[in-house]
Structure formats: structure tokens, C-alpha cells
Amino acid sequence: MFGLEWDTFETTLRWLGITSLLTFFISLALIPWLISRLPVDYFVRPHPFRHPFSAGSGLFFPLWFVLRNIAGVVVLLAGIAMLFLPGQGILTIILGIALMSFPGKYRLLFALTTKASVQHSLDWIRTKTGHPKFIWRSDVQR
């Protein structure tokens, strides 16, 4: 098949299995920690987009902006991979988007978190980590 030897496939499959297990266990530890650090009203309050090179931001903000977006992209890609591999794919995708900064990010987050099952999962994790549940748009509109 494509001129590749079985040893190459075996090595590749072994590394994919190890990577899959590592991302699964890292996500089990990291996702609850990140979700517990979000403010209770994170999914209902407006968040204005700040351009990284806006006046008065100093030198630290652009560096933080770049590093946070790189981390967000890595977490987002891990979440997409977890849709097919073991792990919490949807929650990881939401966290990856939450880490990044781009215009329209909160509209996307609001759209992804409108499903009751996603809200329940996020609230369950917060409850298990000893934090209050999130406030959702449906709670505010009542």
C-alpha cells in the first residue's frame, strides 16, 4: 500500500495511540481547571474586542495576545481531534475559542453554548470543582 512498510505503519499507529491517550488525560485535568476559572457571567456579558496594537496597550498586551491566540488554536485543534479521538471534544473547542481573541468570538460562543446539553456539561464541571453554575441567556431573559 503506497510503498510503505508495515514497520512504518506500526510506529505511526503506536505514536498516534500514545498521543491520543496523552490528550485524553491532559484534557481530563486541564478542561475542568479552565472552566472553573471562567467568570460566572462569561457567556452573557458583552466583551468588546481589543486590537492588540491599539493605543495605550503597552508592549505586554501584544505579546500576551499572540501567546493566548497560539494556545487557543492548539486547544481548538485538540478539540477538533477529540471529536474523533477519546476526549471532551465540544468542551475543548469551546475553551479553545474562549482563549482566542477575534471579532465575533462571543457570537460564536453564544451559538455553541445554546444547547442545553452543553450548558449542563459546563455547569456540571463547575459544580464538581466547587464553583457556582454559569448564568445563561435563558436565565437572564426570564
At 13-39, the pLDDT tens digits run: 888 888 878 877 877 788 888 888 888
Domain for residue 116, yes or no?
Answer: yes
User: Is 51 a member of any domain?
Assistant: yes
Spatial separation of the C-alpha atoms in residues 33 and 29, rounded to whole Å: 7
Average pLDDT, the chain: 81
pLDDT tens by residue, 61-109? 778 888 889 999 988 988 888 888 776 788 889 889 988 888 888 888 8
Nearest to 136, CA basis, from 38, 45, 36, 48: 45
8-state DSSP, 132: P
Residues 116 and 63: their CA atoms lie apart, in Å, by 36
Query: Is residue 118, in this structure, part of any structural domain at all?
Result: yes
What pLDDT score does 141 carry? Answer: 58
Cβ atoms of residues 124 and 33 within 8 Å = no
In a domain, 76, yes or no: yes
Task: Read off the pLDDT band of 132 (50, 70, 90).
Answer: very high
What 3-state DSSP class applies to 36?
A: helix
Predicted TM-score of the model (pTM): 0.70
1 part of a folded domain:
no
Q: Could you give the 3-state DSSP secondary structure of residue 140? A: helix
Which range marks the domain in which residue 123 is found? 7-141
2 inside domain? no
Residues 6+ away with beta carbon under 8 Å from 80: 89, 93
Number of domains observed in the structure of the chain = 1
Cell matching residue 71:
494556545
81 domain residue, yes or no: yes
